[in-house]
Amino acid sequence: MYMEYDKYSSLKKSDIAQQFENLRRMIDDHERSVNEDISKVDEKNMKQMKDYELKVLSYQRQLRERRALFHQTVDTGDYVRVLQDYQDYQQYFNAMDEEWYKIKPPKVIEYNIQGLDECRTNLQQTLRNVCTKEEPQYENPQLEEFIAKQENNSTLNLNNQGLTDYDMIIVAQTIRLKKIFTTLHLGNNQIKAAGAKYIAESLEFNRTLTTLDLWNNQIGSEGVQHFAEVLQRNTILNCLGLNANQIDDVGATYLADALKKNTGLTDLSLASNEITDIGAQSLKDALCSNKTIQKLQLFQNNQVSSKVRKQLEKQEKRFI
C-alpha cells in the first residue's frame, strides 16, 4: 500500500510540475509575441529615421556640388559668367531652401505595454490562491460496505446506485489499492467529468482491470479527455463502455488521438452520444493506424448522417 501511495503522490507532483511548466511556457510565448510586436514598431521607426537621414545627406551633397561648380566659375575670372551663374545659384539655393523646409523630421511611433502591471498583480494574487489544502476524507459507509461484499468476485457491479463524483473517490481508491477486480460496472449513475477523472487516474495504478463500463452517465467530452490521456499509456484495459454520456465531436477527437497510440483496447462503445459526421470521421481515421480495436460502436448517434454511416461501415468493418 505504501508503494502504491508513493506512486500516486509522485504522479500528483508530476502533474503539478507540468501545470507550472505550461504556465511558464504560456508566459514565455506571450513575451515572445510582445517582443515581436515591439520589433515591428522599431523597424518602422528605424526606416523613417533612415529615410530622413538619406534625404538630408542628399540635400547636403547637392548643395556642396553646386557650390563647387560656382567656385570653379569664379576662378575663371569671367565676371559676366560669374554674375549669370550667381543668379542661377541664388535661384537654385532658394529652391533648395524651400525643399529643405519640406523635409520634416520623422515622428517616432511611441508604444506602451498595456496590461503588464495588471497581469503581474493578477498573477501574484492567483498564485497566492494556489496552495495545498487538506480536505476531510469523503465517506460513504453504505458504498464501502457494498464494495466489501463483492471483494470475492472479479466483477465489481455498481450499476444503478445513484453514485456521484464524490463516490468515485472511494471507487478510485478501491481500484488503485485492491487489485482483485477485472471488470467494473458504473452504469446509470450520476457521474460527471470530475468523477471520470478520479476513475481515469486510478487506471494508472491498476494492472488487472480489463473492462470498464460507464453507460448512461454525464461525463461529457471533458471527462472523456481524462480517459483519453490514460489510454495513450494503458495497455491493460480491453473494453471501455461510454454509451449515452453526452460526448460530442470534441470528445470523439480526444479518443481518436488516444487510439492512434493505444495498443490494448479491443472494444470501444460510444453509442447514443452527440457525435456528428466530423467526430465519426476522426475515429475512422484513427482506426487506420490502430489494428487492435475489433469493435467500435457508434449506433444511435443520430447526428451522424446515413451517408457517412454507410461510408464508414463500408470502408471500416469494425464500425457498428
- Range(s) of the domain holding residue 200: 141-315
Q: Whole-angstrom Cα distance, residue 223 to residue 194?
A: 7
Q: What is the CATH number of the domain that holds 151?
A: 3.80.10.10
pLDDT at position 136 is 64
The overall pTM is greater than 0.85: no
Positive or negative, the CA dihedral 251, 217, 261, 18 is: positive
Domain boundary among 84, 103, 129: 129
**27 assigned to some structural domain:** yes
Positive or negative, the CA dihedral 220, 279, 257, 295 is: positive
Q: Could you list the mean pLDDT of each consecutive 10-residue stretch along the chain, which spans 320 residues?
A: 67 81 88 87 85 81 79 76 74 75 76 82 82 76 93 94 96 89 97 96 92 98 96 95 98 96 96 95 92 93 88 79
**13 assigned to some structural domain:** no
pLDDT at position 3 is 66
Q: Show the cell assigned to 187.
A: 452504469
Q: Show the cell assigned to 174.
A: 478501491
> Per DSSP, which regions of 204-294 are E strands?
211-213, 239-241, 267-269
pLDDT at position 2 is 59
Domain boundary among 70, 104, 129: 129
pLDDT at position 266 is 96
157 forms beta bridges with 185
Say yes or no: 103 and 165 in one domain. Answer: no
Say yes or no: 104 and 146 in one domain. Answer: no
pLDDT at position 198 is 94
Domain boundary among 129, 152, 186: 129
pLDDT at position 49 is 84
**204 assigned to some structural domain:** yes
pLDDT at position 80 is 72
Say yes or no: 217 and 152 in one domain. Answer: yes
Residues 6+ away with beta carbon under 8 Å from 283: 252, 255, 256, 259, 270, 275, 296, 298
**61 assigned to some structural domain:** yes
Say yes or no: 228 and 304 in one domain. Answer: yes
Say yes or no: 99 and 194 in one domain. Answer: no
pLDDT at position 162 is 97
Say yes or no: 103 and 173 in one domain. Answer: no
Q: Whole-angstrom Cα distance, residue 182 to residue 65?
A: 96
Q: Which of 259, 213, 263, 278 is nearest to 239 (CA)?
A: 213
Say yes or no: 203 and 311 in one domain. Answer: yes
Say yes or no: 305 and 156 in one domain. Answer: yes
